[in-house]
Amino acid sequence: MKKLWHFLRTPSRRWSVLALILVGVGVTLAGTVGLHYGFEKTSSLEFCVSCHSMESTVYPEYKESIHFKNASGVQAVCTDCHQPKDFVGKVARKMEAANDLYQEYIGHSIDTQEKFEDRRLHLAEKVWARMSSQNSKTCKSCHSYDNMDHAKQSPAAALAMQDAAAKNMNCIECHKGIAHELPNMAGGFRATFASLKEAAQEAPAAETLYTLAEKDLYASEQSTEAVGKLLPASRIQVLARNGDRLQVSVEGWRERDGKGRVLSEYMGKRVFVATLRDELKAEEQVLKQQMDEATQIPWEQVRVQAWVDGKGLEPSLQPIWDYAGEMYKSTCNSCHAAPDPAHFTANGWISGLKAMSAYYRLSKEEERTLLKYLQNHAADTGGQGSH
């Protein structure tokens, strides 16, 4: 002990080792206290809403939510939802939040209400993605599945929460917009479509092409009167090119004994490829005939030739599916967790989507694209979206 005490008291040129240790302890304590105070201060509601962009936009929305004022008087402040409770998660979130300060005071991308609204969807998607990656652990720090009394919930809520608990679902899958206004969910996928449309002003060089949207079919290269229509995400084969017109072939299935004005992508499934008038039907070629075992209805696969203009065509189906998938997430995840497309059959999605039509605002063309995406990713079409 004497040797240890002597070592600790031995000067290091000017200071003893003991003095240096005491200084180190003091600096560590001061740093710890300072860090704790800094975390506490920057985690307060007052600090979070001190920025002008927060004060004029999300703070008023938050004050109208149940997280701000409720019957029990328990309030959840900004960091309860946006900042994990564990130390590592807290530090990581503080570092990420530095970008918010940059955008507010240097980048000036959210310092007015108009700018904030323009970026609301982007900002919301970043928060949702972060919460999803953490399995909504900030939500679950208060809302524990294990501690829920389903008998005190409404029957519908109890059924939904029991299913969510069994799957340990992400809270954010069903509870977007719980504290803030939902952004314009259509803004993202419509911007994606506009970008695809702008880039598809000329026909690609590929021989197999896919329709970005609905397209008119013409009987000849000079004709201006449509004799049919291609539906979104339909495949065509290029036979010839003349200026901005393409001669193409279209294949599909139809009931043998019906009028046959609509071609479907699969036998027995209402996944529509094109609608035809008599001028095109008269020139069609029957490729094969087959009995649908499920319904005992005879079908035949046919091929027709027609002309189309070269705009709005993609050499790959994937960009169209990416756009449609974005539409599905934006449209059907607003109110609840959207089911996996493989949850229904191709024909089942027709009534499934129709049942939800009162809750979304899509154009007829957008709705047809979304339906085609869901049907091609359905339980009985392989769930992969491939033709």
3-state class of 272 per DSSP? strand
Both ends of the chain: CA-CA distance in Å?
82
Is 48 annotated to bind ligand? yes
Query: Is residue 149 domain-shared with residue 78, that is, in the same domain?
Result: no
Of 197-206, 265-274, 281-290, the one with minimum mean pLDDT is 281-290
Domain containing 167 equals 144-174
Instruction: Place 205 in a pLDDT band, splitting at 50, 70 and 90.
Output: very high
Q: What is the pLDDT of residue 31?
A: 64
What is the number of structural domains in the chain? 4
Judge whether 284 lies within some domain: yes
What is the tens place of the pLDDT at every residue in 90-134?
888 888 888 887 887 888 888 788 888 888 888 888 888 888 888
Whether the predicted pLDDT of 63 surpasses 60? yes
Mark whether 276 and 310 lie in a shared domain.
yes
Burial class (CB in 10 A: 0-12, 13-18, 19+), 177: middle
6 marked ligand binding residue:
no
pLDDT in tens, 225-264: 999 999 999 999 999 999 899 999 999 999 888 767 899 9
Check whether 377 is labelled as a binding-site residue. Answer: no
Residue type, 6: H
Is 174 annotated to bind a ligand? Reply is: yes
336 is in an annotated binding site: yes
Same domain flag for 208 and 305: yes
- Domain end (from 314, 344, 366): 314
150 annotated as ligand-binding: no
Which whole number is the average pLDDT over 122-147?
87
Answer yes or no: do 237 and 223 share one domain.
Answer: yes
Residues 6+ positions from 107 with CB-CB distance below 8 Å: none
Asked if the structure places residue 121 within a domain, the reply is: yes
Say whether both 306 and 344 belong to one domain.
Answer: no
* Gap between the Cα atoms of 71 and 92, Å rounded: 34
> In this structure, which amino acid lies at residue 307?
W
Higher pLDDT, 9 or 215: 215
12 - beta bridge partners? Answer: 15
For the stretch 284-324, pLDDT in tens is 899 999 998 888 899 999 999 999 999 999 999 999 999 99
CATH of the domain at 340: 1.10.760
- 13 in a structural domain: no
Residues 263 and 313: beta-carbon distance below 8 Å = no
Give mean pLDDT, residues 10-20.
60
Q: Is residue 82 marked as binding?
A: yes
332 annotated as belonging to a binding site for a ligand: yes
Q: Is residue 180 part of an annotated ligand binding site?
A: no
Q: How many other CB atoms are found less than 10 A from the CB of residue 301? A: 17
- 83 has a pLDDT exceeding 80: yes
